[in-house]
Structure 1
Amino acid sequence: MRLNDLDERIVHALAEDARRSYADIGELVGLSAPAVKRRVDRLRADGAITGFTVRVDPAALGWETEGFVELYCRHNTSPDDIRRGLSRYPEVASASTVTGDADAVVQVFAADMRHFERVLERIAGEPFVERTKSVLVLSPLLRRYTSGAPT
């Protein structure tokens, strides 16, 4: 489903603050609160909006260390195998198959360096993993929770 301009502006407003009122969003986009609610309900029913959530600073939960791990998998490892294997790790924030030499890139949050090392060792020990390559985040520079700029 491709969003029209108005729906996209509503989605961006919700992505900035999912607790924003329909009246507030309506003021931003030029609709009444009931009209915004109807559009949000339709976007949810159509699957364009998949849910509402809260963004928490990982450090507030004790996750002070962040890193990215490149996975180099054994021949014939499917994306579903990778997803299933990594879904058991609460430290894995995201994982994606990628182009290039690596098969997947995994974002990991850990309490400290030792915790990160233990997670990395466990991931490297998965039967589908041939080798890993990791980098640690020094300072996150930019994080966006929406795609593209609102119009």
Structure 2
Amino acid sequence: MTANEASRLDSIDQRLLDALAQNARISLKELAQVANLSSPSAAERLRRLEERGIVTAFTIDIDPAALGYPLQAIVRVRPLPGQLHVVERIIQETPEFIECDKVTGDDCFIARLVVRSMGELDGILDKVAERAETNTSMIKASPVKRRLPPLSSR
């Protein structure tokens, strides 16, 4: 199956994905109702979406502030020469880094981290700064949360 074939969605698939994006814990019965399908048909559609690699996980959305992490930052990271893999490992092993992308351009990584205080942020960045240049921006608000890409070709 080509990438184009895998990504083609009909209106039923789109309704299923929209419903799951709103509530990953939706019951199969409710999911079937949303798509005007029987429960076995909805389950089969969902299984095929997983097989095609379109649905890769069912997850939850947690508010870091409710867990005691009121501050979030975006950190751009440019490893010093020869330190790329070491910096990547530091980021992977630091649980406060909740997302990280390896990117092209001047920086090698763009990461999101959560912290309890500015002091905690300094401590984490100190570990990275021994092996990389960093540029940090504090997040004030997130007007667009992570969301699905457009599902139809409009």
Higher deviation after alignment, 59-68 or 93-102: 93-102
- CA-based RMSD of the aligned residues comes to 2.3
- Out of 109, 117, 124, the residue aligned to residue 112 of structure 1 is 117
**Aligned amino acid, residue 12 of structure 1:** D
Structure 2 length-normalised TM: 0.81
SS of residue paired to 1:96:
strand
Structure 1: how far apart are the matches of 2:98 and 2:40? 36
Gaps of 5+ in 2: 1-5
Which position in structure 1 is the counterpart of 2:97?
A: 92
What pairs up with 1:1-150 in 2 under 5 angstroms?
Answer: 1-5=6-10, 6-75=12-81, 82-125=87-130, 127=131, 129=132, 131-148=133-150
**Aligned amino acid, residue 67 of structure 1:** A
- Cα pair distance change 1:82/1:122, threshold 3 Å: closer
Does the 8 Å contact 1:83/1:95 carry over to 2? no
Structure 2: how far apart are the matches of 1:39 and 1:81? 42
SS of residue paired to 1:87:
helix
Higher deviation after alignment, 58-67 or 29-38: 29-38
Structure 2: how far apart are the matches of 1:121 and 1:91? 14
Structure 1 length-normalised TM: 0.83
Q: Relative contact order (alpha carbons < 8 A, sep ≥ 6): 1 or 2 greater?
A: 1
* Percentage of pairs with the same residue: 26
- Cα pair distance change 1:7/1:84, threshold 3 Å: farther
Gaps of 5+ in 1: none
**Aligned amino acid, residue 84 of structure 1:** R
SS of residue paired to 1:147:
coil
The number of equivalent residue pairs is 147
